[in-house]
Amino acid sequence: MANKTKKEPSREKKTDEKTIFVGNKPPVSYVLAILTEFNSGSNEVVIKARGRAITTAVDTAEITRNRFVTDAKVNDIKIGTDSINGENGRTINVSFIEIYLTTK
Amino acid sequence: MANKTKKEPSREKKTDEKTIFVGNKPPVSYVLAILTEFNSGSNEVVIKARGRAITTAVDTAEITRNRFVTDAKVNDIKIGTDSINGENGRTINVSFIEIYLTTK
């Protein structure tokens, strides 16, 4: 689950993909953030979520694609496990998802 | 979100991919179903879930991969929207996920 993309390396400047972190708010809040990102010139947005918010991330991507940016495509989806330091020094494993949405 | 795989078409007989539908039980229940499937000779398992169970599906895939079948790989992940007939004849849109796990 390396974060390196398979595309040609961008020379010096960062790629213009922007990450939207999805949490406990309703999906529409994040849809709005994605629309803002696309409207400001980005052509790739990464939707990230952990744990229970994974469902919200998928909802967010689907609502964006079906209702607002109909030419947006799901370019890639990654899943993985993050280790978080919990109480009493225990490590908690939590799943995450990354959804790569692109427009042309 | 067509269900056709890009692999070479199987001649006459169905591909041996088996689908595990994930619901409200804890992830370990579905991990067990996947292990049974792999042990009976399948080399591809599809984990499907809708709505809130999407998180459980990701957890199931991750637990299987990290703890039990370490050579299993996530071959593909698809997301999409299902329309369900709800009460009063209204249609409800619900997101789904399909995770394709393969072993060699």
B58-71: b or e for each residue (b if 16 or more CB lie within 10 Å)? bbbbbbbbeeebee
Better-scored residue on pLDDT, B1 or A47: A47
Tokens representing A30 are 């994040």
* Chain B touched by A79 (CB under 8 Å): yes
Q: Which amino acid is at A102?
A: T
DSSP B17: -
Class of the domain covering A18-102 = alpha beta
Q: Which amino acid is at A28?
A: V
Domain ranges of chain A: 18-102
User: Is it the case that residue A9 has pLDDT exceeding 50?
Assistant: no
Nearest to B52 among A55, A79, A80 (CB): A55
Identify the pLDDT of residue A104.
79
Residue B15 and residue A101: Cα distance in Å, rounded? 30
Contact of B21 with B51, CB cutoff 8 Å? no
Q: Name the residue with tokens 């974060």.
A: A3
Nearest-10 crossing angle of helices B27-39, B53-63: 50
Tokens representing B79 are 């997301």
Cβ neighbours of residue A5 closer than 8 Å, sequence gap 6 or more: A15
* Chain B touched by A77 (CB under 8 Å): yes
Identify the pLDDT of residue A16.
59
Cβ neighbours of residue A7 closer than 8 Å, sequence gap 6 or more: A15
Main-chain dihedrals φ then ψ at residue A7, nearest 5 degrees: -70, 170
* Chain B touched by A51 (CB under 8 Å): yes
Query: What's the length of chain A?
Result: 104
Which of B58, B66, B98, B100 to mutate to probe the A interface, most A CBs <10 Å?
B58
* Chain A touched by B98 (CB under 8 Å): no
Interface predicted TM-score (ipTM) over 0.95? no
Contact of A23 with A53, CB cutoff 8 Å? yes
Residue A62 and residue B50: Cα distance in Å, rounded? 13
Q: Which residue on chain B is closest to A1 by alpha carbon? A: B74
Each of the 104 residues of chain B gets a pLDDT tens digit; together they read 444 444 444 444 445 569 999 999 999 999 999 999 999 999 999 999 999 999 999 999 999 999 999 999 999 999 999 999 888 889 999 999 999 999 97
Residue B73 and residue B61: Cα distance in Å, rounded? 9
DSSP A12: S
